[in-house]
Structure 1
Amino acid sequence: MNPVLAFVIVMLVWTISDFVAKRTKSLLSSLFVASIIFLVGFLTDVFPEDLLASSSLLGLAGVVVGFIIVHLGTMISLDEFKAQWKTFVIGVATVVGIGVMLLVAGLLFGDRISGAAEDGYAQALDFVVAGTGALSGGTISVLIVQEAALGVGLTSIAVFPVLIAALQGLVGFPLTSILLRREATRLRGEFRAGNLAPVEVEESATATETSRLPAALRTTPGTLFVVGLVVLASLGINNLTDGILNTFVVALLFGIGLRTAGIFKPAMLSGIDAFGLMMLAIMILVFGPLATVQPADVGALALPLLLAFVFGVAGIAGASALVGRLLGYSVPMSVSIGLTSLFGFPGTMILSQEAAKAAGETPEEVAAIEHAILPKMIIAGFATVTITSVVVTSIIAGRIGTG
């Protein structure tokens, strides 16, 4: 496809999605609207399968996502990071909740689920394992399940997590958007009552002075160069540890540490010329899997998919709400943290920002609300999608084909 035409189409979809989100005050999030447009477009062949790749944004996103995560790390102070241990616990409980509820679904509907497999001998437990890995994790978890399934000749089990990964944003985005709006509204009331501390709305000129970097490295290319070195270091650590220390987790920790040391300013990339395009590019990562969805695959695995989402979301809501309330979080915030397992970054960031902007009526209110929500959502995404789910999936994937 012509790259310029592809770029224009992607920008049109995002413009429409952003417009709808603003008109509905984020009741319909931009991510959800864009997901629907892209899904319908790909299923009906209105959009060619190579649309996103041809726009060059998908390739750019693969490069800059680490940069954005370092940037997010510089938005979280060390004290805030330490305070998020409760968020991590809720994230772990969420993954357990998903597994338990999918096991219940397997026990209740085992025969009908097994009958959906074209392989003829895939068992309900295989779907439970594959569904737990896909619903609670990202690409790495899906790959672990696929490798295990293909190793024992279960093609349908290998396809199953791919479909979940492609479609789970359609479930997670609207639910999380509604819950975060409720939480943002509650926080607005807390702010007006004086119970939520104001956050300084930094101007770019003021923020620049808080960095210890020399002036030559505070320009757009200088900033990208320095942050790029941090991303390369994160990649190196990932490779040295065979992925045990994930690139993006290390990048987030580097961002927090360098901000704490005063080397990086808070919100490191804010104010540079390239930031807006980088943000647009990483949003495209969300929609990439939709291009691979085939109607025949969805039809063949419709029942397992439906059960996975219904019971999976029930497990998320139950576990996160229970543990969150025990730790002092509100139910909407707790369940929002749990739902990050369905999409992870960058959805965690975009939905938090949209909720804050929808509820806040002044820049000060928006900043205070976002400051209260965003760190929790970012840490939650890493706790569920990047860390816990990979560990859990690695342990249970060996059960595929043994039921």
Structure 2
Amino acid sequence: MNPVLAFVIVMLVWTVSDLVAKKTQSLLSSLFVASIIFLVGFLTDVFPEDLLASSSLLALAGVVVGFVIVHLGTMISLDDFKKQWKTLLVGIATVVGIGLTLLLAGFLFGPRISGSAADGYAQALDFVIAGTGALSGGAISVLIVQEAALGVGLTSIAVFPVLIAALQGLIGFPLTSIILRREAARLKAEYRAGRLVPAGGAASAAADDNPSTGAAAPAPDTAPDPTPDPAPETRLPAFLRTTAGTLFVVGAVVLVSLGINNLTDGILNTFVVALVLGIALRTAGILRPSVLSGIDAFGLMMIAVMILVFGPLATVKPSDVAALAGPLLIAFVFGVVGITGFSALVGKLLGYSVPMSVAIGLTSLYGFPGTMILSQEAAKGAGETPEEVAAIEHEILPKMIVAGFSTVTITSVVITSIIAGRIGGG
């Protein structure tokens, strides 16, 4: 496909998606709308399969995704990251919940699957493992499942997580958007009641540790200001604070992250290292808060990264969806039940509101950049002044960012690596 035409089409889809999100006050998120447009376009062959690749945005995203991860790290100070330990626990509980509910589904519906693994038939447990890895994780978890499945000749199990990865955003985006709107409305009320100080304040007076009663907590679980400081300080010389200089420095950080990933054979994932380095370099004063905000290239970089979300949709065929429709439906129904139940229970025990807890759990269905976009859309949809928007985003965004990494990038990869070896075990 002509690269310029492909680029224009992608930008048109994203423009329409943004417009719908604004008109519906984020009830229909831009990610959900774009997912629907791309899915229908690819299934009906209105969009050619090479649309996203021809636009060059997929290639660009492969380069800059690490840059954006470093940027996320600079949005969170080390002290702020430590305060998100509750979010980490909710994220871990979510992955465990997905696995347990899918295991229950396997017991209930497993007898309908006959044959043996030796004859090339997938067993219920194979679908449970593949579903757990795909629903709770991203590309890395899917690749782990695929490698294990293809190693024992189970092609259907190799395809299953790809379909989940391609379709789960269609469920995760609207659900999270609705739930975050409720949380944002609650936070707006807290802000107007004087129990939530503006972003950048000394401490949040919101009842984060007891949101159901509104009682103030002695040590609220606050989050960092997602916007740059008015006069950010950095130890970098002026020539490294330009657009090109900033991209050079952040690029060097990404290269270091890649090097650590390779040295540890992927045990220390590139994105996790990049996030940690971003936090550390901000804390040390080397990178300013929200390091990429304000540079000329950031907008295009974010669009390119978001296109990664829709990449799997290009290869989905109607026959693929039909052949695995039953297992897909079961996986999504039981998976979402596990996510909402376990995240709400653990989150409530830790003092989070139920909407915030469930939103944290739902990040397992999409991860970054959805965690950032949906948080920002919810804050803008609820807040009526820049101060309200900033205060709401200040509370939601860091939790969602940490949640995405705790589920998709860390917990899911660890758990999937452990259980994938059981695929094909009969």
Same fold (TM over 0.5): yes
- 8 Å CA contact 2:180–2:375 kept in 1: the answer is yes
Task: Report if the CA contact (8 A) 1:106-1:113 is conserved.
Answer: no
**Equivalences for 1:73-84 in 2 at 5 Å?**
73-84=73-84
Task: Answer yes or no: is 1:196 the counterpart of 2:189.
Answer: no
Per the alignment, residue 142 of structure 2 pairs with: 142
Please give the alpha-carbon distance, in whole angstroms, between the structure 2 residues aligned to 1:195 and 1:202. Answer: 19
**Residues 260 and 108 of structure 1: is their aligned pair in 2 closer, same or farther, counting only changes over 3 Å?**
same
Q: Which residue of 1 aligns with 2:407?
A: 384
Partner of 1:292: 315
Mapping of residues 340-351 of structure 1, within 5 Å: 340-351=363-374
User: Which AA in structure 1 matches 2:377?
Assistant: E
1:316 is aligned to 339
SS in 2 for 1:286: helix
- Which residue number corresponds to residue 252 of structure 2? 229
Q: Which amino acid aligns with 1:25?
A: Q
Q: Which residue in the other structure is 1:89 paired with? A: 89
| Compared CA separation, residues 135 and 205, structure 1 to 2 (3 A) | closer
Regions of 4+ moved over 4 Å = 200-205
Task: Tell me the alpha carbon deviations over residues 10-59 of structure 1, each in whole angstroms, 9 at most, x when there is no partner.
Answer: 00000100000000000000000000000000000000000001001111
**Contact 1:349 1:374 survives alignment (8 Å):** yes
Secondary structure in structure 2 of the residue aligned to 1:285: helix
Aligned counterparts of 1:58 and 1:287: Cα–Cα separation in 2: 10
Q: TM (normalized to structure 2)?
A: 0.92
Partner of 1:7: 7
1:216-365 superposed matches below 5 A? 216-365=239-388
Give the 3-state SS of the residue equivalent to 1:153 in structure 2: coil
Kept in 1, the 8 Å contact 2:28–2:174? The answer is: yes
Structure 1 residues 149 and 195: CA distance shift in structure 2, 3 A: same
Q: Residues of 1 paired with 2:162 and 2:188: CA distance?
A: 39
Tell me, in whole angstroms, the C-alpha distance in 2 between the residues paired with 1:345 and 1:203.
18
In 2: Cα distance, 1:202 partner to 1:370 partner: 7
Aligned residues of 2:67 and 2:251 also touching (Cα < 8 A):
yes
Residue range with higher mean Cα deviation, 147-156 or 120-129: 120-129
Contact 1:234 1:251 in 2 (8 A): yes
Aligned 8 A contact 2:35 2:310 in 1: yes
Percent identity, please: 83
Q: Residues 108-187 of structure 1: matches in 2 within 5 Å? A: 108-113=108-113, 121-187=121-187
Question: In 1, are the aligned partners of 2:360 and 2:400 still within 8 Å (CA)?
Answer: yes
Mark the CA change 1:343 to 1:203 in structure 2 (over 3 Å): closer, same or farther. closer
| In 1, Cα distance between equivalents of 2:303 and 2:271 | 19
Contact 2:236 2:287 in 1 (8 A): yes
Would the aligned equivalents of 2:26 and 2:378 in 1 still touch at CA under 8 Å?
yes
1:299 maps to amino acid: A
80 and 378 in structure 1: CA distance in 2 versus 1, 3 angstrom threshold = same
5 Å-filtered alignment, 1:64-75, equals 64-75=64-75
Question: TM-score, length-normalised on structure 1?
Answer: 0.97
8 A Cα contact 2:180 2:378, kept in partner: yes
3-state SS of 1:386 partner = helix
For the residues of structure 2 that align with 1:203 and 1:176, how far apart are their CA atoms?
Answer: 22
> What is the deviation of 1:159?
0.6
Paired with 1:113 and 1:244, the residues of 2 have a C-alpha distance of 35
**Cα displacement (A) at 1:111:** 2.5
Q: Give the SS at the match of 1:263.
A: coil
Deviates most, 104-113 or 43-52: 104-113
Quote the residue 2:222 is aligned against: none
For residues 100 and 204 of structure 1, the distance between their equivalents in structure 2, rounded to whole angstroms, comes to 41
Contact 2:73 2:275 in 1 (8 A): yes
How far did residue 300 of structure 1 move? 0.6
Aligned partner letter, 1:269: L
Distance (whole Å) between structure 2 residues aligned to residue 337 and residue 255 of structure 1: 22
Deviations 1:36-94 (A, max 9, x none): 00000000000000000100111111111111111111111111100011101111100
* 1:112-147 alpha-carbon deviations (Å, 9 max, x no partner): 3558x9x76211111111100110111111111111
Unaligned runs of 5+ in 1: none
**SS of equivalent residue, structure 1 residue 67:** helix
Offset of 1:205 from its aligned partner?
9.1
Q: Which amino acid aligns with 1:348?
A: T
Which position in structure 1 is the counterpart of 2:209?
none
1:24 partner amino acid:
T
Matched pairs, number:
400
**Greater fraction helix:** 1
Are positions 1:60 and 2:60 aligned together? Answer: yes
User: In structure 2, what is the Cα distance between the partners aligned to 1:204 and 1:382?
Assistant: 22
Structure 2 gaps, min length 5: 201-224
Please give the alpha-carbon distance, in whole angstroms, between the structure 2 residues aligned to 1:202 and 1:284. Answer: 23
The superposition leaves residues 214-259 of structure 1 with CA deviations (integer Å, 9 ceiling, x where unpaired) of 1101100000000111010111111111111111111111111111
Are the structure 2 counterparts of residues 285 and 124 from structure 1 closer, same or farther at C-alpha, using a change threshold of 3 Å?
same
SS at match of 1:212: coil
CA deviation after TM superposition for structure 1 residue 261, in Å: 1.0
**Residue type at the aligned position of 1:251:** A
CA RMSD, 1 decimal:
1.5
Instruction: Find the residue that maps to 1:262 and give its secondary structure.
Output: coil
2:120, 2:153 within 8 Å by CA — same for their partners in 1?
no
- What is the CA–CA distance in structure 2 between the aligned matches of 1:372 and 1:189, rounded to whole Å? 13
User: Is this contact kept in 1: 2:226–2:393, CA < 8 A?
Assistant: no
Does structure 2 conserve the Cα–Cα contact (< 8 Å) formed by 1:348 and 1:377?
yes
Contact kept in structure 1, 2:227 and 2:290, CA below 8 Å: no
Is 1:214 aligned with 2:237? yes
